[in-house]
C-alpha cells in the first residue's frame, strides 16, 4: 500500500466522502461507498477520521473505546495527551521526516508507558526547539514504533521538520482524535461528536460534528422567556448541552467555561412551552 490515496471528489445526491491524510495501520483506504450512518461496524470500513458530508451535516468515522456511546449525548476523545513534555532522544536534521523521543513510564493511555505500534498514527507531535528560543511546530504523525513500560519511540512524520532538533529539545504527543472515543461522564475530555446509533467498545461508527442536531438539553437551552435571545449552548460533563451562562462558576458546572457545542436554531416560545431546541452543532465542519 503506497502512503497516499488519490481519488476524485464525488458528490452523490449531496453526499461526499473525504479520506483523511494517509497513516499507518488503518483499514478502508479508498472506500468511497456512501455509508449507512445508522449502524455500527464490527469490522472497520473506513479510516478513522474519514469525513462524510451530507447537506448541512458533517460526520466523522470513529473507533469506540472503553464505553458505550449514547445517541442523545456527545461522545468524547478519551486519550487526552498521550505523552506530555518528553525528551527528544536523538538529534534530527532540518527537513528530517522522523523523530526519536523518550517515552516516560507514566505516559500512554493507561499511564504505564505502553504505546502500541502505530497507535499515534493520525495524531500530532509538538516539537519544542529549546535550543533556539523556544521555536515550536506541530506535525502529523503517520506511524510510530511500540514501547513497553516507556523507552525509545520513533515517530514517522508526514512533513519535514522545519528546523534542526537536538537531544536537548523536547516534544509532546497527541493521539488521533478519532481513534478512541468514549461516552458517559467525561468532564476532562473534549467532546468529539454526537453518535447516530448506539455503539459499544471495539466497534466503529459515525458521529455528527456539524449541522442541525437534536440532543439531550437542559431546560434553560433556548429559553426565550422574557425575550432573552438565548442561543449559545455548551457541552456538559455528560455530553448533554446547557446554556452558556457567564454567572455560573461553581466547581461542578463552570457553565461560563464549557466547550461550545453550537447555537440554538429554534428557541422555545415566549412561554417556554417548546422543548428541546434544535442545535446547530459547530464542533468540526
Q: Answer yes or no: are the C-beta atoms of 61 and 31 closer than 8 Å.
A: no
pLDDT exceeds 60 at position 205 = yes
Q: Answer yes or no: are the C-beta atoms of 66 and 182 closer than 8 Å.
A: yes
pLDDT computed for residue 1 by the predictor? 46
pLDDT computed for residue 270 by the predictor? 54
Strand intervals (E) in 65-120? 75-77, 81-88, 98-103
pLDDT exceeds 60 at position 204 = yes
Bridge partners, residue 278, by sequence:
266
Q: pLDDT of 115-164, one tens digit each?
A: 999 999 999 999 998 888 778 899 999 999 999 999 999 999 999 999 99
CA nearest to 31, candidates 42, 13, 47, 54: 47
**Could you say which DSSP state residue 242 is in?**
E
Higher per-residue confidence, 152 vs 10: 152
Per-domain residue ranges of the chain? 15-77+180-211, 81-174
Task: Give percent of the chain with pLDDT exceeding 90.
Answer: 64
Q: Answer yes or no: are the C-beta atoms of 217 and 279 closer than 8 Å.
A: yes
Residue 131 — left, alpha, or beta (φ > 0 → left; ψ -120 to 50 → alpha)? alpha
Phi, psi of 141 (to 5 degrees): -95, 130
pLDDT exceeds 70 at position 104 = yes
Q: Answer yes or no: are the C-beta atoms of 109 and 81 closer than 8 Å.
A: no
What is the helix, strand, coil percentage profile of the chain, to 5?
Answer: 0, 35, 60
Higher per-residue confidence, 198 vs 247: 198
pLDDT computed for residue 276 by the predictor? 65
d(CA 60, CA 47): 10
Q: CATH for 81-174, among 2.40.160, 2.40.30, 2.20.130, 3.40.1570?
A: 2.40.30
pLDDT exceeds 50 at position 76 = yes
Q: pLDDT of 211-250, one tens digit each?
A: 999 988 887 787 766 656 778 899 998 999 988 877 776 6
Average pLDDT of the residues of the chain: 88
Burial label, 269 (beta-carbon count in 10 A; 0-12, 13-18, 19+): exposed
pLDDT computed for residue 113 by the predictor? 87
Amino acid at each position: 500500500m503506497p502512503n497516499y490515496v488519490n481519488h476524485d471528489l464525488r458528490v452523490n445526491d449531496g453526499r461526499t466522502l473525504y479520506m483523511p491524510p494517509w497513516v499507518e495501520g488503518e483499514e478502508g483506504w479508498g472506500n468511497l461507498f456512501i455509508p449507512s450512518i445508522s449502524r455500527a461496524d464490527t469490522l472497520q470500513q473506513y479510516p478513522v477520521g474519514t469525513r462524510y458530508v451530507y447537506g448541512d451535516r458533517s460526520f466523522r468515522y470513529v473507533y469506540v473505546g472503553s464505553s458505550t456511546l449514547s445517541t442523545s449525548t456527545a461522545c468524547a476523545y478519551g486519550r487526552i495527551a498521550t505523552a506530555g513534555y518528553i525528551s527528544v532522544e536523538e538529534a534530527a536534521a532540518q527537513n528530517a521526516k522522523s523523530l526519536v523521543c523518550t517515552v516516560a513510564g507514566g505516559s500512554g493511555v493507561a499511564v504505564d508507558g505502553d504505546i502500541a505500534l502505530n497507535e499515534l498514527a493520525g495524531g500530532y507531535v509538538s516539537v519544542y526547539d529549546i535550543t533556539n528560543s523556544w521555536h515550536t511546530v506541530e506535525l502529523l504523525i503517520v506511524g510510530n514504533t511500540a514501547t513497553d513500560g516507556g523507552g525509545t519511540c520513533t515517530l514517522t512524520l508526514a512533513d519535514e521538520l522545519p528546523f534542526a532538533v537536538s537531544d536537548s529539545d523536547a516534544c509532546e504527543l497527541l493521539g488521533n482524535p478519532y481513534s478512541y472515543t468514549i461516552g458517559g461522564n467525561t468532564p476532562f475530555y473534549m467532546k468529539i461528536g454526537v453518535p447516530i446509533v448506539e455503539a459499544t467498545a471495539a466497534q466503529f461508527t459515525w458521529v455528527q460534528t456539524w449541522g442541525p442536531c437534536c440532543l439531550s438539553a437542559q431546560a434553560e437551552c433556548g429559553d426565550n422567556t422574557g425575550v432573552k435571545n438565548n442561543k449559545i449552548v455548551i457541552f456538559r460533563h455528560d455530553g448533554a448541552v446547557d446554556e452558556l451562562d457567564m454567572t455560573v462558576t461553581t466547581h461542578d458546572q463552570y457553565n461560563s467555561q464549557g466547550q461550545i457545542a453550537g447555537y440554538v436554531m429554534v428557541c422555545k416560545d415566549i412561554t417556554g412551552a417548546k422543548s428541546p431546541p434544535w442545535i446547530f452543532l459547530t464542533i468540526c465542519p
